[in-house]
């Protein structure tokens, strides 16, 4: 009987960016000092990854590149793991939108699949590109342990895909800054079996 491959992927959300909590999307803010501290705490003691993959946005890529260099690992930036675009809501805080557009904000939290922010990227298109990047990552790194540094939206889509959770329920998954989730994928291709090993806690 052929041995079944086992691929481990740690999904790490970026830490706090400069400017704090916002609908940031494609806005390319770097990590704050607090964000750097959160990320360093999140990876403390981890030395078994074989490669690092990240979103190209600064709040992910700069840390991922530094970590890969420090650990002597290959690092690749994957544009399909860029965060969803929030259109006219880019750069605005949830508190601002709770005052200016509370009904639309509530509908987004409850069903993001049918309530795209004005000018924003549709959830189905976003999920399709993330899932394509995920499938490629699993194909290229089968049997290895990988760190993927990405975003709250990206990591939620991957978790929903792996666990067969409907996309409209994605915001039921809490993904704080610098939180890590581990997915084990047994086998490959159409026969692959994803398993959630753990789902992380917020970092101090």
Q: pLDDT of the chain along its 204 residues, tens only?
A: 457 899 999 999 999 999 999 999 999 999 999 999 999 999 998 779 999 999 999 999 999 999 999 999 999 999 999 999 999 999 999 999 999 999 999 999 999 999 999 999 999 999 999 999 999 999 999 999 999 999 999 999 999 999 999 999 999 999 999 999 999 999 998 889 999 999 986 554
The whole model's pTM is what? 0.95
SS3 state of residue 62:
helix
User: What's the pLDDT at 12?
Assistant: 98
Buried (b) or exposed (e) across 64-95, using 16+ Cβ within 10 A? Answer: bbebbeebebebebbebbbbbbbeebbebeee
pLDDT at 1: 46
- Bridge partners of 67? none
Residue 138, classified by CB atoms within 10 Å of its CB into exposed (0-12), middle (13-18) or buried (19+), is buried
On whether the CB atoms of residues 184 and 129 are closer than 8 A, the answer is no
pLDDT (0 to 100) of residue 2: 59
- Range 6-199 has CATH code 3.90.550.10: no
| Whole-number Å distance between alpha carbons of 127 and 123 | 6
Return the domain boundaries, the chain. 6-199
Residue 125's pLDDT is: 97
As a whole number of angstroms, the distance between CA 186 and CA 33 comes to: 38
């Amino acid at each position: 009987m052929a041995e079944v491959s086992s691929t481990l992927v740690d999904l790490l959300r970026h830490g706090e960016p400069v400017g704090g909590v916002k609908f940031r999307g494609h806005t390319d803010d770097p990590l704050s000092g607090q964000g750097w501290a959160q990320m360093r705490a999140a990876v403390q003691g981890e030395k078994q990854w074989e490669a690092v993959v990240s979103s190209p946005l600064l709040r992910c890529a700069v840390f991922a590149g530094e970590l890969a260099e420090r650990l002597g690992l290959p690092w690749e930036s994957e544009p399909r793991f860029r965060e969803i675009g929030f259109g006219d809501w880019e750069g605005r805080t949830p508190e601002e939108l709770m005052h200016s557009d509370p009904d639309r904000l509530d509908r987004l939290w409850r069903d993001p699949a049918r309530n795209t922010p004005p000018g924003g990227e549709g959830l189905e298109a976003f999920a399709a590109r993330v899932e394509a990047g995920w499938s490629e990552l699993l194909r290229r790194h089968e049997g290895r342990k990988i760190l993927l540094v990405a975003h709250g939206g990206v990591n939620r889509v991957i978790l929903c895909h792996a666990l067969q959770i409907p996309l409209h329920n994605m915001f039921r998954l809490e993904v704080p800054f610098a939180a890590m989730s581990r997915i084990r994928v047994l086998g490959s291709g159409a026969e692959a079996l994803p398993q959630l090993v753990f789902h992380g806690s917020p970092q101090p």
